Amino acid sequence: MIYDLFNEAIKNLSRSGIKTYLTLLGIIIGIAAIVSLVSIGSGLGMAVEQQLDQLGGKTIFVIPGGFQNIRIKLNETDISNFESIRNVESVVPVYSTSAILEFNGEKINVSVNATDSGDKTLFENTGFFNVKEGRDFTRNESGSILLGSEIAENYFEKKIEIKKLVKINGKDFRVIGILKPLPQSFGGGPDPGNTVLMSLDAFKRISTNLNPTIIFINATDKESVPQVVDDIKDYSDKKYGDKSVNVLSSDNLLETINSLLDMITMFILSLAGISLIVGGIGIMNAMITSVLERTKEIGTLKALGASNNKILTLILIESALIGLIGGIIGILLGFGLAEVIAIIGTQSGFALIAVKSYEIIFGALAFSMIIGMVSGFYPASRAANLDPVEALRYE
């Protein structure tokens, strides 16, 4: 019987022509918008999570607060104090400055990052830096640099090849390797595609600023991360004042990024939600018109023995079907759209993934069907409660 009702509902819809297609369009647009947003949104979340996963969850970032000259200056004492905190495995300070890179007579401002080469393995383990071509530097190499692929390939008229000599702040350096760009940079991490990386010894040749801009601290294990974070906070709050130094674990970072992502997603979803409400009103309007047009038919059906329930179900199935069909097309369109956004995003340097999960599919299908049924309920009950004699006389 349900099959029959479905069959009949599909026939009625396919006979109703342009009105149904326009109504469908409303739902399709709403669902496509929501699906593409959720798909890209969860892709973004996943990408961030994956990157932070590379850090192993044991890494804590210590970032001095303030700007440029008034930035809090952490020093050697702080670093050795961090090292002595319980459950700290290693402390890797990263030094940064901006400098002038000169090649073939062209000069360009670049950011330089440096770390003690002894600690570099750990620094690399954080996943920020990967050598794409050439080789990595070893301890005491004060004349070698690794160049971000962006800088090497795009900044200068001529591509900078490995083994070329460049000048940084007037000092000679040899390019020994090219750094692979990360799909995206996040929270405090330098962008390896756009940076010059060198050893601390090399850094000392071009800058006197030996206060780290970020310190990577590795805890011995994941479980002790909160304790280490608390101890660092206690130490720095006491020494430099409350919250003058930001201490973030990768979980904190993930939370911050995710809550930001959630906020953005919620905002856009509520916009898309409005379009779905409009779509729902469209269904209601179409079904009311359809019921009005078919008043006489409904009267006939009642004369032929159709119960109120049967008519209610028929109209409800019709409107649920509009929702469902709109949902199916909307999902396909939404995934397509997400895929296009992901491709465009990836090309412009963001690792966007279009996630296509069953949760999204079933969620969107259920959502679109419910919208169809809710919107169809009023017209359906109106049809069901028509008086058969009056309905038959309706012109």
Partner 1 sequence: MKNEMIRLENVSKIYTLGEIQVKALDNINLSICEQDYVSIMGPSGSGKTTLLDVMSTMMKPTFGKIFIEKKETTKMSNTELASFRGQKIGFIFQTFNLLPKLSALENVMVPMWVNNTTRSERITNAKNILESVGLGDKLQNRPNQMSGGQKQRVAIARALALNPNIIVADEPTGNLDSKSGKIVMDILNDLNKKDGKTLIIVTHDQSIGEKAKRKIVIKDGQILNGNTKVCQL
Enumerate binding residues for partner 1 (CB under 8 A): 1, 4, 8, 15, 296-297, 299-310, 388-389, 392
Helices (H), 139-224: 149-150, 200-206
> How many CA atoms are closer than 13 Å to the CA of 93, on its beta-carbon side?
21
CB 333 → partner 1: shortest distance, Å? 30
Asked if 79 contacts 175 with a C-beta cutoff of 8 angstroms, the reply is: no
CB 315 → partner 1: shortest distance, Å? 15
CB of 1 to partner 1, least distance (A): 5
Alpha-carbon span 288 to 306, nearest angstrom: 19
32, 333 contact by CB (below 8 A): yes
Nearer to partner 1, 157 or 395 (CB): 395
Tokens 């647009």 locate to 29
Shortest Å distance, C-beta 293 to partner 1: 10
Residue closer to partner 1, measured from CB, 15 or 238: 15
Residue with tokens 């159709």: 306
Q: Between 108 and 389, name the residue whose CB sits nearer to partner 1.
A: 389
Residue whose CB is less far from partner 1, 17 or 105: 17
Owner of token pair 């109504």: 23
> What phi, psi does 70 have (nearest 5°)?
-95, 10
Which C-beta is closer to partner 1: that of 8 or that of 339?
8
Q: Could you list the beta-strand ranges (E) of 119-202.
A: 131-134, 144-148, 165-168, 171-179, 195-199
d(CA 94, CA 115): 5
Pick the closer one to partner 1 by CB: 296 or 356.
296
| 82 to 91, 117, 213: CA distances (angstroms) | 7, 19, 15
State the nearest-atom distance from the C-beta of 13 to partner 1, in Å: 11
CB of 354 to partner 1, least distance (A): 41
DSSP string, 15-69: HHTHHHHHHHHHHHHHHHHHHHHHHHHHHHHHHHHHHHHHTTT-EEEEEE-S-GG
3-state secondary structure of 87: coil
Min CB(321)–partner 1 separation in Å: 17
* Shorter beta-carbon distance to partner 1: residue 75 or 307: 307
